[in-house]
Amino acid sequence: MNIKLYVLTLWSIIDPIYYLCTRLTYIDDRKELERNVFRVRLTGYKGTTTTLSDGTVIEKNDILIKIHLHNVQLINNVKHVKSDVRKALIVHRSVEKSLPQLAEFLKKHAKFTEIKGVIGITMLNRGSAKLGFDAVEIKNPLYKYFKCVALLPIHWLSVSSLSLQNFKKHTPCYLFMSKQTLLKNYAQTGTNEYS
């Protein structure tokens, strides 16, 4: 067993504790291997004012659904894949398949009218625009550095080889999607109307 598998095993043990401590919620109740890759919670946005590509303005203290990828699940899905391009494609498809359930979760949420959209933080944002996300630079240098350190393990586990040059290409950024874009692109038709 190589060191990455040891780390993944340890992470699999720690992950349920992390889940409990972060107030995250699963948006489905399927078995682990089939489960939606998003775990979510509501958050008040603390960054600078941002205008998204569809014109939605996200301001400080706006309520957003914060999405966390279920990294252990994703890495288990790609751990035997050699090509980084193939790994990225599998992650992209997993996120794409999970977005319709996220839209339904939003529509049924008690705070639906207050929620302005979705936010996540990632180092792996290639292809995110095709899914409807806006990638936005993190302005606060201290927070950016903190997220860089926090996301390093997932980056290391998700690539075939980690180099300083490769790492510098993938600095953390916010991913936003407005409520309107999420519902327009991913909500099932013929259900409740939304604003």
**Higher pLDDT residue, 195 or 83?**
83
Q: What is the mean pLDDT of residues 138-149?
A: 86
| 122 within some domain | yes
| 167 within some domain | yes
**Whether 117 contacts 175, CB under 8 Å:** no
* Residue 160 domain boundaries: 3-186
| 195 within some domain | no
Predicted confidence (pLDDT) per residue in 43-66, tens digit: 999 989 999 999 999 999 999 999
Tell whether pTM > 0.85. Answer: no
Q: Which residues of 4-27 are buried (b: 16+ CB within 10 A; e: fewer)?
A: eeeebeebeeeeeeebeeeebeeb
| 169 within some domain | yes
